[in-house]
Amino acid sequence: MKQALLSICAAALGLTMAGQASAAGTLETVKARGKLVCGVSLATPGFAAPDDKGRMQGFDADICRSIAAAVFGDGDKVEFVPTNINTRFQALQSGEIDVLSRQTTHTFSRDASLGLDFGPTVFYDGQGLMVAKSLGVTSAKELTEAAICTLPGTTTAQNISDFFRAINGKFELVVFESPDENRAAFYSGRCEAITSDRSDLASIRAVANNPDDYVVLPETISKEPLAPAFRQNDSNWGDIVSWSVWLLMAAEEKGITQANVDEMLKSEDPDVQRMLGATEELGKMLGLDNNWGYSIIKSVGNYGEVFERNLGEGTRLGLTRGPNALWNAGGLIYSPPIR
């Protein structure tokens, strides 16, 4: 009985927090608190994981910092809240976090049924499978009858089922509750393969004792557009999240970097002037200071810098840009005009 009452109270508190955030507007709530609260992964190298000094590093973490920089002029005014796969959406719905930046796929059902909206796609991904090289497998189609490790509460189970159904193959899905358990089971040989987004597989491979012992198979079996999420019915906050992301992309296209942003304030390019707040007053339209764009680039750099620093070929993950290159370089990364 006592436990039931505690659960009811916790749920009521969550609804109250969400109601307060909605009534005041998330921007006002964040400003009054003095920091952004951003939901990230528990520990996924390349996307969100603390370094040896305890500072959160990663692609998703830098998306959080870009939003904090837009609001406060300081990308470090953010609290990172690790969320697991099963609780990430509840944390956002309840008001525990202001935005979710956590390798989350934008899907129809999530958009339409969870009371959430999604910002721009920050990483175009797709589901894949990884095996030990010693298995001698070169294609996912050879994994019929294999045990495959994965996590619950994601799109991966449906995708892998659809894939094997299409080739009339059978498999055993072995589900683990935590990323650590999932990785350990795969490394130990409990499963012949592990399936997740290809970027996540690169992270799993990178933290193995012998990364070269594993290979990601060539098939991409789904589309997984990863995007930040926020609560519905707060269009101003949604605009801030979305335009913070788009600003990163537009800055790369215009050649604005963390190193040259001060010099670019003198640019005669009208687009650059607007982005950095040298002319017009676009920031006021969002309820932000006019130098919001400058603050983002000064804090984290442009989209390309965020990608290369955390995920690129010079990192442990070693990812190429692929579809995450700018639109004018053969990719899909594209910002609406900032004007």
Q: How far is CA 241 from CA 158, 244, 269, in A?
A: 29, 5, 25
Average pLDDT over residues 134-161: 93
CATH topology agreement for domains 2-124+226-329 and 127-222: yes
Q: What is the dihedral of CA 158, 312, 261, 329, to 10 degrees?
A: -80
pLDDT of 12: 41
pLDDT score recorded for residue 166: 94
Name, in order, each residue with C-beta under 8 angstroms of 100's C-beta and a sequence gap of 6 or more: 38, 39, 83, 88, 89, 91, 92, 228, 229, 230
State mean pLDDT over 199-219: 96
Q: What is the CATH number of domain 127-222?
A: 3.40.190.10
Q: Above 50 in pLDDT, residue 195?
A: yes
AA identity, residue 78? V
Domain boundaries defined on the chain:
2-124+226-329, 127-222
pLDDT digits (tens, 9 = 90+) for 55-93: 999 999 999 999 999 999 999 999 999 998 889 999 999
Percent of the chain with pLDDT over 90: 89
Q: Tens digits of per-residue pLDDT, 1-38?
A: 333 333 334 444 444 444 444 446 999 999 999 999 99
Ordered DSSP codes for 163-193: HHHHTT--EEEEE-SSHHHHHHHHHHTSSSE
CB-CB neighbours of 331 under 10 Å: 14
CATH architecture for segment(s) 2-124+226-329: 3-Layer(aba) Sandwich (3.40)
211-256 tens-digit pLDDT: 999 999 999 999 999 999 999 999 999 999 999 999 999 999 999 9
Residue range 101-128: mean pLDDT, rounded: 97
**What is the β-pairing status of strands 99-100 and 36-40?**
parallel
